[in-house]
Amino acid sequence: MAKTKTAYFCQSCGYESAKWLGKCPVCSQWNTFVEEIIEKSANVPTWKSASGTQRLNKPNRLDEIRSAQEERMPTGNAELDRVLGGGLVAGSVTLIGGEPGIGKSTLMLQLALNIHHAKVLYISGEESEQQIKMRAERITQTTNTNCYILTETSTQNIFKQIEQLEPNVVIIDSIQTLHSSHIESTPGSVSQVRECTAELLKFAKETSTPVFLIGHITKDGAIAGPKILEHMVDTVLQFEGDRHHIYRILRSIKNRFGAAAELGIYAMHGNGLREVSNPSEILLSQREEELSGITIGATLEGARPMLIETQALVSNSAYGTPQRSATGFDTRRMNMLLAVLEKRCGFRLSIKDVFLNIAGGIKVEDPAIDLAIIVAIISSHEDMPVSSKICFAAEVGLSGEIRAVNRIEQRIAEAEKLGFDKIFISSYNVKGFDKNKYKIQLVTVAKIEEVFAALFG
């Protein structure tokens, strides 16, 4: 009888070691190594092509390789198609991660129900057929006869059903619940997740079948399992949002077939997720009167321009140490902007409490909203409102200069479409395009002092 072979794996990055280590030499995490059985069976591979023979590849010269445009399958979901780069690519493997209850299973079930022109197999290892049926009836009124449900966790049984059904799209919910009999460890372990993903990846590439994998996340927000899981798949999507808001954001982290900075926005309702085609209108609050500390910034998420509302509150500090808090924005960058205001403009903000909030529950990393943030801070500090018909799109430098931002024409066009009267941009952004073609008034500034003089006198 063969001896059982074991190894130690880092639960954080998937590094393999022959012995237990206190600290991982790759990711430098402590106490992350667990022992797992890695002895594989001597049976045939889990997924075998129809011919049963192994294809031998040979090297080809680059100029001899024919370039082909990949054909994409529309999913019937405009926001998902945008994030994927135009639709599903044959043989692609997509990993979707997100917090529990954020709507990953709902999104994938809606995808399975919306693709009427293809046969979809939805495999669930977490819910029963009755639970999936109840959710399907809640989110749609029509029945998709091409949607098949399978509740199974064994990859061997899953591939048997796939060979009989021959689906066009496969959805796995979730990859942490699957287990392969070739690996003698519990489902969700590092070796099981890696082995099951490798089997599904081989199936997808050999049959040109798109595969979706739903993945759990850790308490730190990273996708659970080895880091190699994200390297193996073609696309990694992050489904995020706040439980107290109805909006959900589908963000592309990695995409081999498209841009890796696209964004899709959904609204969670009782009957499922609904696409938000114009996010600017929902991210801007409808105010009956002008309020201090509120400005509008023009930002870009991928190729999509959005106008978002920035809210600031500056008050006297009740304690010895002033508080600094930012929701949806980097606190360190906010502290940098506060230092610029104090050093270059003379505002005494070091003794004030400053709170910043990006409305709508979204997170923004675009530096183009710097100008909107500092104007909101001064508006709250001086208690002087800024007109709701004015928006801002510029970066602020450490010396107080107003810096240019990329793709300014898209930001201007979005502001004009939503009916804004003025937009403040950098003087260095006006080179190369005609200002007269816009109906909106372009206010060009080079220093923070010019902005304050134009707004507050």
Binding-site annotation, residues for ATP: 98-105
- CB atoms near residue 379 (< 10 Å): 22
Find the length of the chain: 457
Two tokens, residue 315: 């008050």
CB 122 within 8 Å of CB 150:
yes
Identify which of 250, 302, 323 has the alpha carbon closest to the alpha carbon of residue 104.
250
Rounded distance, CA 230 to CA 210, Å?
16
Two tokens, residue 84: 């994927």
Write the DSSP string, 224-238. SS-THHHHHSSEEEE
- CB atoms near residue 57 (< 10 Å): 5
CB 302 within 8 Å of CB 117:
no
CB 250 within 8 Å of CB 237:
yes
Q: Is the dihedral of CA 106, 108, 112, 117 positive or negative?
A: positive
Q: Binding site: which residues?
A: 98-105
Two tokens, residue 164: 């009989």
Rounded distance, CA 114 to CA 117, Å?
9
Class of residue 28 by CB neighbours under 10 A (exposed 0-12, middle 13-18, buried 19+):
exposed
Instruction: Report helix, strand or coil for 202.
Output: helix
Q: Which residues contact 402 (CB under 8 A, 6 or more apart)?
A: 371, 394, 395, 396, 426, 427, 445, 446, 447, 448, 450, 451
Q: Which residues contact 134 (CB under 8 A, 6 or more apart)?
A: none
Write the DSSP string, 256-285. TTS-TT-EEEEEEETTEEEE-S-HHHHHS-
Angle of the 129-139 helix axis to the 104-114 helix axis, nearest 10: 70
Q: Are strands 6-10 and 72-73 parallel, antiparallel or unpaired?
A: unpaired
CB 235 within 8 Å of CB 255:
yes
